Structure 1
Amino acid sequence: MDDLPALAGEEHFCPLCRVNYQRTTIARAVETITAIPGAARAAVAEIPEAARAVRPSAGEWSVVEYVCHLRDVYASYTIRLYRARTEDRPAVEPMLNNLRATRFRYIDWNVEAALDELDATAAGFREEIARVREDEWERTVTRLPHEVRTARWLVRQAMHEGTHHLHDIERTGSVIRAASG
């Protein structure tokens, strides 16, 4: 597990997305998460179908791979949040993003089907958020022993993943369109 990227902290600020965890309320995070599937669908619609599975360069994901990853984020974070709510400081599994993308051949997925699944997993995550009681937001999970994160962080992190990867989808589409036109 030495090659896992470190999790962002509870006070994370992303200069690219301008997401500030400390200033993000749960209500604002839910609003953003609600908009992510539609925004991803709109961004994908701007990219020619033949270009959606093109990687802009080695080591970068294609549009369809980003969409599959976002689907996985909301599925994984639903389970993580459920476990934070119902277990005492559970150790959660790493997502192993690149392994999933490779082993499950995300580049070969139908992007429309992945977008439909993103709709479903984001809705399921929002349903799980709605089940969290006010006194449960400080409950914690760990991924590695030194990575203790709150239920509140799980929601903020999932929102950030959506925001950040939406930028990645838009940027990847722009790069692919520029290279082909």
Structure 2
Amino acid sequence: MPIIPDEKDWTWVLSRPCPECSFDASTVTPVTVAGSVANMLPRWRAVLRRPEVTERPDANTWSALEYACHVRDVFALFDQRLNLMLGSEDARFENWDQDRTAVEKDYAGADPAVVSAELTAEGEQIAASFAGVREEDWVRTGLRGNGSKFTVLTLSQYFLHDVVHHLHDVDG
């Protein structure tokens, strides 16, 4: 059964803590981004080893496997966005339809072991990319298709919230 699309604008997490997962963007600094990603990877791998990883808790909620597939793709997407911001002035990137991607890539039918390896590789890549950002580049800007403006720092904060929030979603 398809999931009801999440059409919320989550950029509010940049100005106040998330009441659901307790993520506080103000605690994210250029020094902490890469380590935060690296520290979450073992937790995601543990989630993917659960026997019930493919089971949806209800008809309107992704399974832990589907969330892990989403996070794998978030890692890749934000690595692309980061590199776009670092490579061009006032980079522009399209909105992403995560629900369409879930259907097109058959998140529900994915192999948890394969997803674990892919999520780890993509997570290590985005951590390395953030670790390589030069001090003067954290203020570079990008604009999402819906008009949301980011600096490299606020992009990292927004990105980390997504990964932390979904770990919370799956009790990881």
TM-score exceeds 0.5: yes
Name 1:22's counterpart in structure 2: 26
Q: Does 1:42 align with 2:49?
A: no
1:26 shift after superposition: 2.3
Amino acid paired to 2:168: H
- 1:39-118 equivalent positions in 2, closer than 5 A: 39-45=43-49, 47-48=50-51, 51-118=52-119
Say which is worse superposed, 23-32 or 159-168, in terms of deviation. 23-32
Over 3 Å counting, the alpha-carbon distance change for 1:7 and 1:92 in structure 2 is: farther
Aligned-partner Cα distance in 1 for 2:59–2:90:
38
Amino acid paired to 2:128: E
TM normalised by structure 1 equals: 0.84
Amino acid paired to 1:82: N
TM normalised by structure 2 equals: 0.88
The SS at the match of 1:13 is coil
Give the aligned length: 166
- 1:113-152 equivalent positions in 2, closer than 5 A: 113-152=114-153
1:13 shift after superposition: 1.7
Name 1:174's counterpart in structure 2: none
State whether residues 48 and 113 of structure 2, in contact with CA within 8 Å, keep that contact through their aligned partners in structure 1.
Answer: no
Deviations 1:141-173 (A, max 9, x none): 1113531011111211222111111111227xx
**In percent, how many aligned pairs have the same letter?**
27
1:61 shift after superposition: 0.4
The SS at the match of 1:19 is coil
Superposition RMSD on alpha carbons, in Å? 1.8
Name 2:11's counterpart in structure 1: 8
Name 1:175's counterpart in structure 2: none
Aligned-partner Cα distance in 2 for 1:37–1:72:
14
Which structure 2 segments of 5+ residues have no match?
Answer: 1-5
Which structure 1 segments of 5+ residues have no match?
Answer: 172-181
Amino acid paired to 1:30: A
Over 3 Å counting, the alpha-carbon distance change for 1:101 and 1:53 in structure 2 is: same
Name 1:158's counterpart in structure 2: 159
1:117 shift after superposition: 0.5
